[in-house]
Structure 1
């Protein structure tokens, strides 16, 4: 049975729910790049990101029966990707004992310098952050989780999440100033 190139998402999902491997492959191909992009923001090692992508698709196919057709599939899938990435991190790293930290003043960034950077440049700079700062920055700034949610996800106090974010921004500011010196 030949499949059309562009299958509407709801039809694709319905057929995936029925266990049709051809449609599961189409869904995989359609969302692979998106999945790899999300996983790569959390995992520096490409092999780890690929493992998370594949694990996430397995979770999607196993739990697709719980997905409501009126919901946003991409948002639902992103949540699976983020949680799978965090699970992978937990398995492969021990978080430093989080201690209550005093909130520090948030530093502003150089918007004109940021405007000149590509997404690839920013992701490259982010990989220089320590693991927890990297996670908190991604969860808060990119995926939009609150500090309370981040604290629960990473098992750290809410105030520590704020501090890690502040420190990540300060580190990025420092990296950004060094980066702009070398790119001129």
Structure 2
């Protein structure tokens, strides 16, 4: 932890709002990205980050410097996002299909030239993966987003979620298996739809 950050945390815990605003500005973008990935709505993500930062400000005296400040911040953001999802009881439909004029979506792209066709396939593949991640349950979606999209280490995720390293690895492994199955089902479903049209 930077010395300046340590000072800002101390000042914030004494009620210095300006110090807190300076402290938190480096975390705003990533906190928003995490919330947005989990909630898939920019307004909800902004509300959740705002709520999380209020919680952080109110409880900053409880921060004991045992973990990194960033880990503590992201733990509160993730927990606030999960609480929000539970309160809204978000239901994900398994019948969503990516509609496009291109037909089949090929995950394996052999030709790496940036032709319009390749660019479109990359875009559609990204959309397919994003929609498939949205269909995972809360636990698996959270770890996949933290690990594979936000790039947190296993140890960081363990600290953010407050669970053991073994649990994190297990959840990521199961999440990836579930994600693969969802993607395959989506592609299979798309193949059926296309063959019916032909």
TM-score (norm 1): 0.60
**Could you say which residue in structure 2 is the equivalent of 1:135?**
138
Q: Does 1:168 align with 2:179?
A: yes
- Gaps of at least 5 residues in structure 1 are 1-5, 97-109, 150-157, 179-184
TM-score (norm 2): 0.57
Q: In structure 2, do the counterparts of structure 1 residues 130 and 92 end up closer, same or farther at CA, with 3 Å as the change threshold?
A: farther
**Could you say which residue in structure 1 is the equivalent of 2:67?**
71
Instruction: Say how many residue pairs are matched.
Output: 144
**Could you say which residue in structure 2 is the equivalent of 1:152?**
none
- The answer as to whether partners of 1:17 and 1:64 remain within 8 angstroms in 2 is yes
**Off by >2 Å, runs of 4+ in structure 1:** 110-113, 121-127, 129-132, 134-146, 164-178
- Cα RMSD after superposing both structures: 4.0
> What is the CA distance between 1:167 and its match in structure 2?
3.0
What is the DSSP-based 3-state SS (H/G/I as helix, E as strand, rest coil) of the residue aligned with 2:131? coil
Q: Deviations over 1:41-80 (max 9, x none)?
A: 2010100000110010011011111111242111111111
CA distance in 1, matches of 2:133, 2:141: 12
Identify the range of structure 1 (136-145 vs 17-26) with the bigger mean alpha-carbon deviation.
Answer: 136-145
Larger radius of gyration: 2
Q: 1:37 pairs with 17, 22, 33, which one?
A: 33
- Gaps of at least 5 residues in structure 2 are 93-106, 111-117, 147-153, 164-169, 191-198
> What is the CA distance between 1:176 and its match in structure 2?
8.8
> What is the CA distance between 1:21 and its match in structure 2?
1.1
Q: In structure 2, do the counterparts of structure 1 residues 19 and 31 end up closer, same or farther at CA, with 3 Å as the change threshold?
A: same
